[in-house]
């Protein structure tokens, strides 16, 4: 899988196809994690959420991982407009399936429009690996696509998903052929869904998961 060829075009493609809807999903719960100190951003892409995360968490340490070098370069460039030093931000060029996370430390994990790229067996491995590097009270934020359970909303989402996966499989060699919800994998790694906001007839959702109970 490689998003290198799309890196230069991703921003305008998102603007034309979705306006600001995806960014609203990304930032839906950002205000609720203001105390986070060590943040892992997976599949961050061109850095739109990274910049907002740095604004909201100016003292936090951020680790930004992406398999695409051009996407990481765009994210670094975008961040430099806000903070020329990019202090406290580490950019990691790696495939999440091959990356070994550090010892448990991250109190905030972010996977926006990323987990939908993987097949079920890959997704299970990724969630378990990243959960092993999460702190005991970590929060996991994710925004992604969904398929409603019934009605016209379901039909609409299925059509959009088929077109979306066909395009990205051709353009990026995307492993997944269809969406696999990560909920069961998160629960099996002791994360609990605290909030979920749906939009666009149920096509999009934003989640806030927390590790452990209370």
pLDDT tens per residue, range 66-99:
999 999 999 999 999 988 888 999 999 999 999 9
pLDDT tens per residue, range 102-150:
876 899 999 999 999 999 999 999 999 999 999 999 999 999 999 999 9
Query: Is domain 4-211 given the CATH code 3.40.50.150 in the classification?
Result: yes
Q: Is the pTM of this model over 0.85?
A: yes
The count of other CB atoms within 10 Å of the CB of residue 45 is 24
pLDDT tens per residue, range 160-186:
999 999 999 998 989 999 999 999 999
Domain ranges of the chain: 4-211
Structure tokens at 109: 């994990």
Strand partners, 61: 38
pLDDT tens per residue, range 24-74:
999 999 999 999 999 999 999 999 999 999 999 999 999 999 999 999 999
Distances (CA, A) of 208 to 35, 48, 168, 211: 15, 19, 26, 10
- From first CA to last CA, the distance across the chain in angstroms is 39
CB of 27 closer than 8 Å to CB of 203 = no
155: alpha, beta or left? (left if phi > 0; alpha if psi -120 to 50): alpha
């Amino acid at each position: 899988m490689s998003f290198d060829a799309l890196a230069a075009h991703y921003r305008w493609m998102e603007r034309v196809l979705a306006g600001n809807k995806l960014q609203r999903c990304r930032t839906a719960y950002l205000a609720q994690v203001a105390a986070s100190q060590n943040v892992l951003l997976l599949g961050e892409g061109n850095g739109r959420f990274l910049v907002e995360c740095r604004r909201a968490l100016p003292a936090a340490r951020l680790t930004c991982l992406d398999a695409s070098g051009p996407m990481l370069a765009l994210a670094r460039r975008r961040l430099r407009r806000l903070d020329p030093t990019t202090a406290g931000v580490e950019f990691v060029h790696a495939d999440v399936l091959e990356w070994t996370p550090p010892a448990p430390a991250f109190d905030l994990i972010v996977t926006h429009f990323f987990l939908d790229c993987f097949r079920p067996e890959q997704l299970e491995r990724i969630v378990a690996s990243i959960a092993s590097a999460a702190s005991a009270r970590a929060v996991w934020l994710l925004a992604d696509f969904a398929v409603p359970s019934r009605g016209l909303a379901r039909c609409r989402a299925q059509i959009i998903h088929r077109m979306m996966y066909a395009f990205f499989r051709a353009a990026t060699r995307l492993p997944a052929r269809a969406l696999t919800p990560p909920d069961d994998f998160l629960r099996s790694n002791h994360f609990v869904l605290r909030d979920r906001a749906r939009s666009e007839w149920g096509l999009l959702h934003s989640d806030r998961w927390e590790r452990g109970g209370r």
